[in-house]
Amino acid sequence: MNGTLIVSLDFELFWGMRDRHTLDEYSENVLGGRKAIPLLLDLFEKHGIHATWATVGFQFADGCKELIPFIPSDKLKPSYDDIKLSPYAELMNCGESEEKAPCYFAPKLIDEIAACEGQEIASHTFSHYYCRESGQTASQFEADMLSAKAIAELHGYELRSAVLPRNQSTDEATEVLRRLHFTSYRDEENDWIHEKIKVTPLMRLLRLMDVYLPLTGQGGYIPKNEDGIVNLVGSRMYKPYFKPLAFLEPLKVHRIKKQMLHAAKKGLTFHLWWHPHNIGVRTEWHLKQLEEIFSYYDELKKNYGMRSLNMEEAAQEVLSEK
């Protein structure tokens, strides 16, 4: 069996950062990420990269007023203990259109992505929903995902793949996705750091080190059918430039390429992911690095028959197996 490269992007504009930064602090990254997307699409076309764009449901709307019919009832909005996690209190102040509020809405940009060969529009939930945060319930998550599917369908998209914000998957959330006929989701990395390290600062340090050094092995795997839905685990996040460790950047790319080589040789899946806003600053530099990675994919395709599949394509291949 040939190895597979999956690429997915958490397309969230400012919705994924609003509880961590102010818009003034982070708008440069978000707007830079928007400008980077057409360049990414050109890069994907050049190298035949099929990618999944996990899109926050709010972004399908051309302004906050269009969202009103899709907003869950108050009882079914996420009741996080930490109220700042919910976007609903500030939603109606976000802007009237994509043109006036490009950090929040993106229907034209979504259409531009979908028009490119091999690009899948998928779900990053409706409201950038956090499935592991205390206070929320499975019923609220289901309402959120129903809204995500409904607004996507209004714009002509059927959502089949899901990426849960911050990879906060749970058994209950997976059952909701299965019930709503999603075919795949992306879980967090399955390695000893995530499984055994429970002290958050130490986990973050080890995960950062693993970007540059092979602490957790190669990250390749064989996707499995989990009762009708396929867990396409993330193998590696493409981390943006980190100035204090800039001298290690060549090791970061080398680490990704070694993992890709392992998957190509062994017939495994390697799943690379990131957020467009990660490359919203130093965009030219990041694109040059991604060009190196995808040029290496070209070599692996030639030498080992590696394929590029988006999440839906990969899931359908698994689900069709007998």
Quick one: DSSP state of residue 277? G
Q: Spell out the residues 6+ positions from residue 28 whose beta carbon is closer than 8 angstroms to its own.
A: 280, 281
Q: Is the model's pLDDT at 214 over the cut of 80?
A: yes
List the structure tokens of 148: 């995500």
Confidence of residue 215 (pLDDT cuts 50, 70, 90): confident
CA separation for the pair 58, 18 (Å, rounded): 14
Cβ atoms of residues 94 and 104 within 8 Å: yes
Confidence of residue 196 (pLDDT cuts 50, 70, 90): low
Q: Is the model's pLDDT at 88 over the cut of 90?
A: yes
Q: What is the pLDDT of residue 204?
A: 83
Nearest one of 237, 240, 239 to 28, comparing CA atoms: 240
Q: What is the pLDDT of residue 123?
A: 98
Q: pTM for the complete prediction?
A: 0.96
H helix and E strand count, the chain: 9, 9
CA distances from 67 to 5, 57, 91, 119, 163 (A): 35, 9, 9, 25, 21
Q: Is the model's pLDDT at 195 over the cut of 80?
A: no
Confidence of residue 211 (pLDDT cuts 50, 70, 90): confident
Q: For residue 271, list its beta bridge partners.
A: 6
Nearest one of 89, 111, 97 to 65, comparing CA atoms: 97
Q: Is the model's pLDDT at 216 over the cut of 80?
A: yes
Q: Is the model's pLDDT at 60 over the cut of 70?
A: yes
Over the stretch 143-178, which tens digit does the pLDDT of each residue have? 999 999 999 999 999 999 999 999 999 999 999 999
Q: What is the pLDDT of residue 227?
A: 95
Q: What is the pLDDT of residue 322?
A: 62
Q: What is the pLDDT of residue 202?
A: 82
List the structure tokens of 140: 């609220």
Q: Spell out the residues 6+ positions from residue 68 whose beta carbon is closer than 8 angstroms to its own.
A: none
Q: Is the model's pLDDT at 240 over the cut of 80?
A: yes
CA separation for the pair 314, 308 (Å, rounded): 9
Cβ atoms of residues 6 and 256 within 8 Å: no
Q: Is the model's pLDDT at 192 over the cut of 80?
A: no
Instruction: Give me the residue label for tokens 């397309």.
Output: 11
- Per cent of the chain over pLDDT 90 is 87
Instruction: Give me the residue label for tokens 């764009």.
Output: 53
Mean pLDDT of the chain: 95
CA separation for the pair 142, 65 (Å, rounded): 22
Q: Is the model's pLDDT at 73 over the cut of 80?
A: yes
Region 73-80 average pLDDT: 98
